Structure 1
């Protein structure tokens, strides 16, 4: 509860330029200056930039955490595979110890070694993944272990200037840029100017009714803008002791007397909003820190007929024998159905240029 209150207070401060934000503003200005120096050193080639032999797509955000970039990475990976590409994923592996060498795996990996988001991505896509804080190390290890990969999708990495990329995507949600200030005075990891420098901005809408029918207009200059909605797909029983169910199985018209929701993601409120949109109204919602796992007490201590968790949290509890635990899976639905064809064509062009120059 203390964490939730502090977290809510900080995010409220980040949405306006209040007293706490103003007190921390000088620190944010220092960070802004350091970011400027870093970017200048890379752009002027004083610091070396790593160039992979294949195209790289970066999916990131400037608002700190919880904007929905992981579902975007999963969707892009699946769609590019369907179009004949052989993608690989790189990620930092937040919350786990990596060491000097990258962790490289495929499909069935241990989340305690790779992190929850990388584990979820490779589980949902079947694509190889390489995890290391230094992206160049992750790329080299990925290509060494899977030499047939012909495109790389970077889960986050927008601020990693040492890695050259061919297409940049920023994912935003309803919080936008908050008060427009860098951390700790605001919620931004990068300057607002970054929004004008990327190829595409994806707006993650709260529900499908808010999604505007936007499409990429090649007559306009970049960045292009499209909308996205995280559509609930299915409920998976992580114990395997019960059959999987449609989401509607848990709505208020069904027999479940008490439902508890648990989430440890960057924007916990989005999970409860997703459930409410499906007419599911949990009696309580246990909010954990992003990437956190329930370890202070067991699920046995939770009084509920059904316990609903996110896909990101489900990878932490795989192997659980509690039949009450259900993963609520979501999939990114985009306003532009031709976006993936456009992206694939752009990457084919990038691949041809790399073959000519490398």
Structure 2
């Protein structure tokens, strides 16, 4: 019966993946891998699972920032942190930053985001660095997804035990880190619910088309989408912000080939702190959607939101431009809307 169930699951995955030619081959590879992992995990002993978690955690670092200054770096395997040297207080707001594949907390975008969060949000910013595991192949990193989820959850629970309040918490994840942010948030429920979570072009390969309710990751979850080849097609966040052309491609990729539409997502997100990214009032006719479009007021802008408006949910379409900082003016947006009418 178990063998039939696994075979039936693989058949369903294969059928759905064939609908989308862009994702089919790559996602099939990782979907089968996940099925094998699920079968194998039933035979893993608790001791083996703990050893794997330890092997990953002992290479991870927890980096604390206060007022945009790195104040402390410690091992992720510690079960308690001496916060006296970090400048952080449990009464502070806190932000967690999770990077993607072949990245670290030292990447330019991570440092820029930490600076913007420090300026606009204040409090304590904590970047969790798992770059040792993330430096190998994507498939290798993918096999560690559950392990990293557990390790990061343990780190956050340690903070909660020291008095940090989930209601004052924010978490950001880019690409693979976006999937981790969602999984970590969901694993903390029902005892702890992070106030707000933002993700940028959450990774698709290996995760699609498995239906996941990302809205369960936190009280307010908004996900920015920017690419068709690396980003997920599961749009289940409270808000799904479709950047550029239907959330599938960015015009500026023509001048930013090294970033691609996927990499541009995090640059655009960081720019939303300082530049207005106006949203369209309706779904562009060329964009196909399974989800309801959000009802938004004129002049509505997207980005980091301190006070989340729960009345605005669904898909939000935000055109982007060819050149930095990649936003459109109100006038350009109006002309675009007229042209598409």
Instruction: Name the TM tier (shorter chain).
Output: 0.3 to 0.5
Q: So what's the TM-score if we normalise by structure 2?
A: 0.32
Give the number of the structure whose residues are more often helix, by fraction.
2
Give the number of the structure whose residues are more often strand, by fraction.
1
Greater relative contact order (CA < 8 Å, ≥ 6 in sequence):
1
Q: So what's the TM-score if we normalise by structure 1?
A: 0.31
